[in-house]
């Protein structure tokens, strides 16, 4: 191990977590890993230590990262039986990279800080492609000194790393991100569906749009999935719905109108009704196709 090697824990090794943890190993760090089910063999082969519980991870590591699906999963990982909190000692840092409630994030941070440890919320954007390529955007809430301490670890997993503000502000930023992403998926889907139904080649239309003001990562990656009909996640519709529920719930509390966000959520709900909870979120196009009785790529009638 290099002189800069740190003991890092990683809890939650799914579509996103596994490649993120892999980059930490490649960066020369010691990795202590735990997930529901088996720790992926590729990580163990690369040198990760598989742990029997989140508590064991926290006992071994100085920086403990959680990357799990939802707010209750983070609560369980941190404060459940054999959770992270039970294995912490003073001076350690807990970093939650999941996308969860900003309100509960602030409560989790207070509980961890009461144990003499530091807490960062650091949700990510960039999907499975960003996780694999170490190009994630990382939105961080927490103390600046703690952020600077953990930043070299973030730099192994992402490119655009921003300290947004205090605890909870990283999660607030992620909710805003998910609003923009959902609405852009809807826009890309409608544009490509329109072009295809009008008789143009949707792949050529996408290529043309990529050179203009309409270009985006979503047009690039998710537009390609819509055209190629590859709706395996990726990022599951059920998880994007969870994020939009956070947005709409907070908007009610704040007295905000988010009409387009509500519309996107209804289109996701239509996909779920068709059995699509586990589709990639680019599958939102299928709800529009159902409404229009036309699929991108089929011959224009």
Catalytic sites, residue numbers: 174
Cβ atoms within 10 Å, residue 115: 15
Q: Kindly state the tokens that stand for 299.
A: 């011959």
Is 33 in contact with 10 (CB distance < 8 Å)?
A: yes
Is 141 in contact with 121 (CB distance < 8 Å)?
A: yes
Spatial CA neighbour of 109 closest among 101, 97, 118 = 118
Category of 85 on φ-ψ map: left (φ > 0), alpha (ψ -120 to 50) or beta? alpha
Spatial CA neighbour of 185 closest among 144, 240, 222, 212 = 222
**Rounded to an integer, what distance in angstroms lies between the CA atom of residue 207 and that of residue 267?**
26
Q: Kindly state the tokens that stand for 174.
A: 């992620």
C-alpha triplet 182, 105, 267: angle, nearest 5°: 20
Bridge partners (DSSP) of residue 136 are 158
Cβ atoms within 10 Å, residue 190: 14
Spatial CA neighbour of 157 closest among 245, 26, 251 = 26
């Amino acid at each position: 191990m290099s002189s800069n090697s740190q003991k890092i824990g990683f809890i939650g090794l799914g579509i996103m977590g596994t490649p993120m943890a892999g980059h930490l190993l490649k960066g020369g760090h010691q990795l202590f890993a735990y997930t529901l089910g088996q720790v992926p063999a590729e990580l163990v082969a690369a040198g990760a230590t598989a742990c029997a519980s989140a508590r064991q991870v926290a006992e071994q590591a100085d920086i403990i990262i959680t990357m799990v699906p939802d707010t209750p999963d983070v609560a369980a990982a941190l404060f459940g039986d054999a959770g992270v909190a039970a294995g912490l000692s003073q001076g350690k840092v807990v970093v939650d990279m999941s996308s969860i409630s900003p309100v509960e994030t602030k409560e989790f941070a207070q509980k961890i800080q009461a144990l003499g440890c530091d807490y960062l919320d650091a949700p990510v954007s960039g999907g499975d492609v960003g996780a694999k390529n170490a190009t994630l955007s990382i939105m961080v809430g927490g103390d600046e000194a703690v952020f600077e301490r953990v930043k070299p670890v973030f730099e192994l997993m992402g490119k655009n790393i921003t300290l947004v503000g205090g605890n909870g502000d990283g999660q607030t930023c992620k909710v805003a991100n998910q609003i923009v992403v959902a609405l852009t998926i809807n826009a890309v889907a409608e544009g490509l569906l329109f072009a295809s139904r009008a008789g143009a080649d949707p792949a050529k239309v996408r290529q043309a749009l990529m050179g203009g003001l309409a270009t985006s990562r979503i047009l690039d990656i998710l537009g390609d999935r819509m055209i190629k009909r590859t709706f395996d996640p990726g990022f599951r519709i059920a998880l994007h719905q969870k994020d939009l529920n956070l947005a709409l719930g907070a908007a009610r509390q704040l007295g905000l109108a988010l009409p387009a966000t509500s519309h996107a959520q209804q289109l996701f709900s239509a996909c779920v009704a068709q059995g699509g909870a586990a589709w990639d979120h680019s599958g939102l196009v299928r709800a529009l196709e159902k409404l229009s009785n036309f699929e991108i790529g089929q011959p224009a009638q």
